Structure 1
Amino acid sequence: MILTDNETKVDLLNNEAIAATIIGLLRAKPDHPMTIGVHGDWGAGKSSVLEMIEAGFADKNDVLCLKFNGWRFQGFEDAKIALIEGIVTGLVEKRPALTKAAVAVKDVFRRIDWLKVAKRAGGLAVTAFTGIPTPEQVGAIVGSLQGLLADPGKLATKENLETTIEEVKGILKGGETKNVPEEVEAFRKAFDQLLKDAGIKQLVVLIDDLDRCLPDTAIETLEAIRLFVFTARTAFVVAADEAMIEYAVRKHFPDLPDSTGPRDYARNYLEKLIQVPFRIPALGETETRIYVTLLLAGAEIGEDNADYAKLIAVAREKLKRPWTTGGLDAVTVKTAGNHPPAKPGAFGM
């Protein structure tokens, strides 16, 4: 029997209360930006909590949930660009009404193009705060790249260089010159207008598997979130192991001192971004036995089976007081389903 490690909307660990609390918190002030952290060890159920949050908003037409997994993009795209463009692309795809708001959509994507061109131009030093180059920097790129056309042997292909130059020129033509703070504010306003045109009162972005990413990818994703931190009606729920993120911060910023007073710099970095943290407690022996038994039972009789739902209900009661029980034995499994399992003894844990 093969058991998958995929996230599920079926709550096997009594984490539904965490998901319900987060949903209530998000709905209390939908017009306020918010960042929420779901922390816990690998396998603690963080991804399943995100699934439950998404399911909890399924019937809310004025709320849009978008999921982003930085691990899947790692090695293929710049994480910062992937997240920002993924949010806007998902918004446009899931709200057909935006097809009528062509100006707003074009405005947002034009601003994202700054990031794309900066990446393709080859190591342009952009600000850590926004990741967006100033018009003066882009102008410098155009001049230097045009000069390199005389010696295309230094580059991968002459065609790639010409394409990059045209993209940079297109951006320089596409609006008035702004400094970095003005450009950031313009992006936020354009994005906010996009939400209004889509009829969305709240956008909830679920970030998963951040602790599986390489340090640079994890930090780039967190830096991209900062761009939206003060954008109204936009909330982020970040599922990650705190220890792994702190490790990523230390690797990405190796020159930082170890600590400042009683606090660790790496922990401070995460807590500055995450406004409300939720920590999933580690599983004890009894919780682990119950969880594995439920996985085996679900694989055997199917998660949609009515008897499986009864067994989960019994398991949840036991999980409330794990110190008083030894788990789910064969008798309990048989009683919950009113008949013995297909393979006697399969769930006797």
Structure 2
Amino acid sequence: MSFRISEIDIPLSDPFKNDALDRPAMVEFMANVIKKAGGKPLVIAVDAPYGSGKSTFIGMLNAVLINENYQTVNFNAWKADHVSDPLVAMVAALDEALPKAEDKTGKLKAGLDKVRNITGKVARRVLVAGVKVGTAGVLDIEDGLEEIIRDAAGDAVSDIVEKFQNETKLNISFRSELENAVSQLALAQKNSTLVFFIDELDRCRPDFAISLLERVKHMFDVPNIAFILSVDKRQLEAATAAVYGERINAAEYLRKFIDLEFGLPLPHNKKFVEMAVARSGLSELFSLHSQDGGGYQCGQFTRFLTLLSRILQLTLRTQERCITRMKLVLDQTPIGQSSNPIHVALLVVLRTVDQDFFYKTVKGILSPVEVLNFFSAKPEGEIALNSTEGRILHALLVTEDRNDERRKEFKKKLIDVMNENSSTREDANNASEMLNLLDSFGMDGKVFPIIARKIDIAAQIRN
């Protein structure tokens, strides 16, 4: 059995086929920004916390642009941060992506070869231990440039000013050859603008992340190249402080590299949870524990995970982690035994977001009111708890209260409200509804400890 939730498929023929976050309008908006840039250099940061769906968003944007005949490059920075200089890895990604075979004149390939050749000299320090820079010396280059490169590499430079001048000339040569290579895209029947996607930048080593931004600014700032950076700006600011010290104004420093910032909204909707549950295979496990095929219980888990995700503002990655833990718990539950989907949804979320609060809830240290106050204090908590799902959650907490006297007193108050002549019809109906919910769960308070033990063990498995 696989406990990995499969990646969202983004088919080129229909980029939004599996979209669960209502993002087509945002993707189209971003595509139009790139089109309106008119070939000017452009760096856009798509900013959202880790696990918020940035990779899926730029994947859809990539597909839309490809369908509109743009040439794109996809570079996962995190997978490349084992090298000391990101320049060669970026040029390698560029070289791999560009459609050289479609250029019958050979000019695109020739231009890229020159870029690769100069790259090997700019990044003269070996990037990976024991591995030489791959493509240096592929082509003969212009008279005089060879001497510049040799001097810039430190072969015979004694004057630091001269060395700086030579390295500056080398960088200018790189940008010139890169601009020339990109200008040949038309020969491969492509749009004139190259779109370079950089994902997972905020997960890289701080020095690598900052070095990559500096390479983008100083080496790739040429016409007809647009960069889309997928980042968590807070993490990137922390990386900047790690490299340059806490006293640096990290936000201001990063503005030097980024032209536009796009804050990706944090989504919370039932459709995403439903699709993540389907991709996880969780529904098949539910079917082993229910005579109705598991549809109802799976629906209940989805319903309450959605509610709690909305209240606690869980990232998409955290929601997926909760689904995986539900799968682990269900897999360890004897076939035919109730899966208690609402109980598990509540406890698995609490264990994920606040371990201490989870233990206090399970042990009955916190009253149902205190748990509900924890939720209602959140921005959307009070509104969410006034829903049908919120009232069910309230009833569940009361039935699982380890304090017998408190449970009995709560039930007695409900009965009194129903019997009092002064009670409004609405209050009486609400009291009656709550009593029915309590009866549907049972008033023994014995389910939480059993489920909590399984969740606690499942939480030790880091997915």
Which position in structure 1 is the counterpart of 2:411? none
1:117 paired with 2:100, answer no
Cα 1:119–1:134, aligned 2, differ >3 Å: closer, same or farther? farther
1:212 paired with 2:203, answer yes
- Higher Cα Rg: structure 1 or 2? 2
C-alpha distance in 2 between matches for 1:96 and 1:57: 20
SS at match of 2:30: helix
Which position in structure 2 is the counterpart of 1:153? none
C-alpha distance in 2 between matches for 1:179 and 1:104: 22
1:231 paired with 2:215, answer no
Which position in structure 2 is the counterpart of 1:2? 3
Q: Could you tell me the TM-score, scaled by structure 1's length?
A: 0.63
Deviation at 1:138, TM superposition (A): 3.6
For residue 240 of structure 1, the aligned residue among 231, 255, 279 is: 231
Query: In structure 2, what residue type is equivalent to 1:190?
Result: E
Which position in structure 2 is the counterpart of 1:297? 278
Matches within 5 A, 1:1-349: 2-4=3-5, 6=7, 8-9=9-10, 10-61=18-69, 63-76=70-83, 78-91=85-98, 93=100, 95-97=102-104, 99-101=106-108, 103-119=110-126, 135=149, 137-138=151-152, 140-141=154-155, 179-199=166-186, 200=190, 201-254=192-245, 257-258=247-248, 265-283=249-267, 287=268, 289-299=270-280
CA contact (8 A) 2:84 2:127 kept: no
Q: Could you tell me the TM-score, scaled by structure 2's length?
A: 0.49
Cα 1:5–1:271, aligned 2, differ >3 Å: closer, same or farther? farther
* Residues 248-302 of structure 1, C-alpha deviations (whole Å, 9 max, x = no match): 1011112x634xxxxxx1111222211111112334xxx165422221134559x
* Residues 32-53 of structure 1, C-alpha deviations (whole Å, 9 max, x = no match): 1111110101111100111111
C-alpha distance in 2 between matches for 1:272 and 1:136: 31
Which position in structure 1 is the counterpart of 2:364? none
C-alpha distance in 2 between matches for 1:5 and 1:243: 28
CA contact (8 A) 1:37 1:276 kept: yes
Query: Identity over aligned residues, as a percent?
Result: 21
Structure 1: gaps spanning 5 or more residues: 123-132, 145-176, 259-264, 302-314, 324-344
C-alpha distance in 1 between matches for 2:176 and 2:260: 25
Tell me the C-alpha RMSD between the 2 structures. Answer: 3.8
Deviation at 1:76, TM superposition (A): 4.5
SS at match of 1:277: strand
Structure 2: gaps spanning 5 or more residues: 11-17, 130-146, 159-163, 284-302, 312-338, 346-463
SS at match of 1:50: helix
Query: In structure 1, what residue type is equivalent to 2:3?
Result: I
CA contact (8 A) 2:151 2:166 kept: no
SS at match of 2:106: helix
Q: Which runs of 4+ in 1 moved over 6 A?
A: 345-349
Deviation at 1:88, TM superposition (A): 3.5
* Residues 54-110 of structure 1, C-alpha deviations (whole Å, 9 max, x = no match): 11012233x201100011112256323211332244225575447355542332222
Deviation at 1:190, TM superposition (A): 1.3
CA contact (8 A) 2:201 2:231 kept: yes
C-alpha distance in 1 between matches for 2:340 and 2:276: 11
Q: Which structure ranks higher in relative contact order (CA pairs < 8 Å, sequence separation ≥ 6)?
A: 1
Cα 1:212–1:98, aligned 2, differ >3 Å: closer, same or farther? farther
- Count of residue pairs brought into register by the alignment: 261
C-alpha distance in 2 between matches for 1:190 and 1:23: 27
SS at match of 2:229: strand
